[in-house]
Every structure is written in C-alpha cells, then in structure tokens.
Amino acid sequence: MRKTSGTITGEIQLNGFSQERTSFLRCSGYVEQFDVQQAELTVRETVTFCARLRLDASDPAIGNDAGKLRYVDHVLETMELCDIENLQVGSYEEGGLTFEQRKRLAIACELAGSPSVIFLDEPTSGLDSRGALVVMRAMRRIADSGRTVCATIHQPSAAVFEMFDDLLLLKRGGNVVFFGELGEGSSKLVQYFESRGADPIEYGENPAAWMLRCLAKDRSEAEEVDWAEVYKMSDNYAALGEQIETIKESADESKTITFDSTFAATYRERARLMNQRILTVYKRSPAYNLTRLMIAVFYAFLIGSVFIRSRKGRDHVWLENEVDGVVSILRRCMVRG
C-alpha cells in the first residue's frame, strides 16, 4: 500500500464471511495505474506466465497445464489481445505495445489468476476516448462473466460513465456522498441529487461532470451543503445498512472462500517458471549480455592487475632472503676455515 499515514480500520468480508490475508490475496487481483510488464516477453508469454503461477491445478475447472493454456486463450479473447499475442511488449523508447494495449495486458495478467474481485487504479487515465472505450468494453465483459470489478476513475466521459453499474462517490476526506446504482442514463443518480436541492442537470450534460459541480456548489449564499450528512440521513443509506445485515445473517457456508496454501503453484514449479522466464529474457537481450560480458572481462583485468605488483614484491623479498642466507653460510665457512 502507498498510504502510510493515518489509521486504517475496518473488516474485509466476502459473501458475508471475514477474509484472512491469504484467502483475500488469492481471490482478488489488483491492476496498477502504470504497467510493470517485461519488455522482452510476448503478450501470450506474459499472460501464460501469470496463469501458470496463479491458477490452481487442483481446481477441476482448470485441471492440468493444457487447461491453463485454454484459459489463457479465453483471457486473450476477452481482452481483445489475440491479434497481438505474438508481439513483444517492448518499451516506450524502443517501440512496442501502445499505452492502451499495455492497459489491457495489465488487466489480462490479473484476470489470468481467475480472481473473484478485480481492483483497478484509474484504468482509463492517459487514454484517448477510443482507448478508454476499448478498456471499458473489456471490463464490461469481465463483469458480465460474474466477477466483481472495482475501479477508481477521474473525470470520465459520458460514454464511459454509463458503462458502470454502481457508483461510490467520495468527497474530500473520504466521506461517502453517494452509493448505489446509477440507473439507465444515470437516472437514479440524477434523481437523488435533484431531489435534495441540486441544480437540475442540463440537456446533454455529462452526469459525471454535473455531480461534481453539485458537490462544489452551495445550496444558498450562506450555507454549504454537507452531502456526506445528507447521505447518512437518506433512505439509500438505511437500505444499504439493512442489505448488509441481511447478507451477514443469511450467509451461506458453501460460499466461503478459503485457500489452504499461500501460493497456487508449488515451490519447484515457481522456481522452474522463474528460471525459464529469466533465460528467455536474457536470450532476447544480446546487447545487455554483451555489455555484461565486457564489464566482466574489464573487472577481471582490473582485479588481476591489483595482484601483479604484489606478486613481484613477494618474489623480490624471497630472493633477498635467499641471497642473505647464502652469504651468511659462506661467511661461516670462511671463519671456520
């Protein structure tokens, strides 16, 4: 976590059951804002590596390695990466995948672990309108497959905003301002704010921009609206509390998510996959390997040269000791003679 200040409290629950750290990490995925993929690997190799590490072979739906590869095909198709699956990721300096393709690849890597919940940090930031729609279309397909997708987003377009089912709106300080379904055409969101004194939305206006304008606007000249307190007094807040309590009381033991081990793959399998990955990266980095070889040779000569003078010095000292010994013996013989 990047948040290092303050106090974090609360409890993580899935399907009404508390989650311990190992189970939550195994059943969830997190997509960072910026990609961290290996430039020398292809798209398919990157997703396959994640799938072999994170998919449990004991799962009947997965089975052996062939089942993992079939799931990789499904992930590539879902994220619309089949046409570039054999391209190397590359880098921004030397060329490779576009920023939007890297976003989809990062999501595919997390989806390869078959998580129940996927968290995304600003998946559309830095993308143009077309790229944002492509990423959102892929996220929509993931949600339609039965997985929960949670994403943070800033200033989305109207088309992107309409593709979300629910909205958790926070104001400065982390206080909840609104939580619930958006409705068709964001009708439920608009009805909530307008019924509590917000200015009516204009025809064709982006609901995302309109709601932010409502939060920044005063209800009157002298008093600013505390939308967090308004939400706590609303029927939406009360209904949400009742829904949470109902889920806790009617929790089904069969829906408990638990894992016996921290990792899906064995230690030997993880070591084999890592060594294979490193060898592939080195094999496709001739310039890097040549540089390392030249540096190794340079350091070898440098370190060897340190001992050249020392070796000569030892030989010189040994020779002087031998000469002194011979002279001493000759002197003794002359005295006796």
Residue 157 domain-assigned (yes or no):
yes
Q: Per the domain annotation, does 8 fall within a domain? A: no
Residues 6+ apart with CB under 8 A from 37: 46, 89, 102, 105, 106, 109
Q: CA 335: distance to chain centroid?
A: 90
Q: Are residues 193 and 87 in the same domain?
A: yes
Examine the domain organization and report whether 40 and 186 are in the same domain. yes
Full domain range(s) for residue 318: 285-337
Same domain, 162 and 136: yes
CATH number for the domain that contains residue 70? 3.40.50.300
Does residue 1 fall inside a structural domain? no
**What residues have CB less than 8 Å from 141, skipping those under 6 apart?**
78
Considering the domain architecture, whether residues 280 and 316 belong to the same structural domain is answered as no
Query: Residues 98, 233: one domain?
Result: yes
Please check whether residues 243 and 154 belong to one and the same domain: yes
DSSP type of residue 81: -
Q: Are residues 93 and 201 in the same domain?
A: yes
Q: Are residues 250 and 289 in the same domain?
A: no
* Domain identity same for 96 and 223: yes
| Cα gap 277→40, rounded to integer Å | 10
Residue that the structure tokens 């638990």 belong to = 258
Q: Quick check: is 326 in a domain?
A: yes
Q: Which of residues 284, 310, 328 is at a domain's end?
A: 284
Report whether 17 contacts 256 (CB < 8 A): yes
Residue 2 forms part of a structural domain: no
76 found inside a domain: yes
Q: Measure the CA–CA gap between 59 and 65, rounded to whole angstroms.
A: 12
The candidate with the shortest Cα–Cα distance to 114, out of 27, 24, 47, is 27
Full pLDDT tens readout for the chain, 337 residues: 455 677 777 788 877 777 778 888 888 889 888 778 888 899 999 999 999 998 887 777 777 888 889 999 999 998 889 999 998 888 877 778 888 889 899 999 999 988 888 999 888 888 888 888 888 888 898 898 888 899 988 878 888 888 898 999 888 778 889 998 888 888 888 898 888 888 888 888 888 888 888 877 644 444 567 788 888 888 888 888 888 888 888 877 777 777 778 888 888 999 999 999 999 998 888 888 899 899 999 988 888 777 765 544 455 554 555 556 555 665 665 555 5
Is the residue at 168 inside a domain? Answer: yes
Q: Which long-range contacts does 124-131 make (Cβ < 8 Å, 24+ apart)?
A: 124/153, 124/156, 124/160, 125/33, 125/154, 126/99, 127/99, 127/100, 127/103, 128/100, 129/157, 129/159, 131/98, 131/99, 131/100, 131/103
Same domain, 232 and 87: yes
Contacts of 30 (CB under 8 A, 6+ apart): 110, 118, 119, 120, 121
User: What three-state secondary structure class fits 170?
Assistant: strand
CB 105 within 8 A of CB 35: yes
CA distance 55 to 203: 48
Q: Does 139 reside within a domain? A: yes
187, 223: one domain: yes
Of 284, 301, 329, which closes a domain?
284
Q: What is the CA 143 to chain-centroid distance, rounded?
A: 18
Domain's final residue, options 240, 264, 284? 284
Claim to verify: residue 268 and residue 295 sit in the same structural domain: no
Domain count, the chain: 2
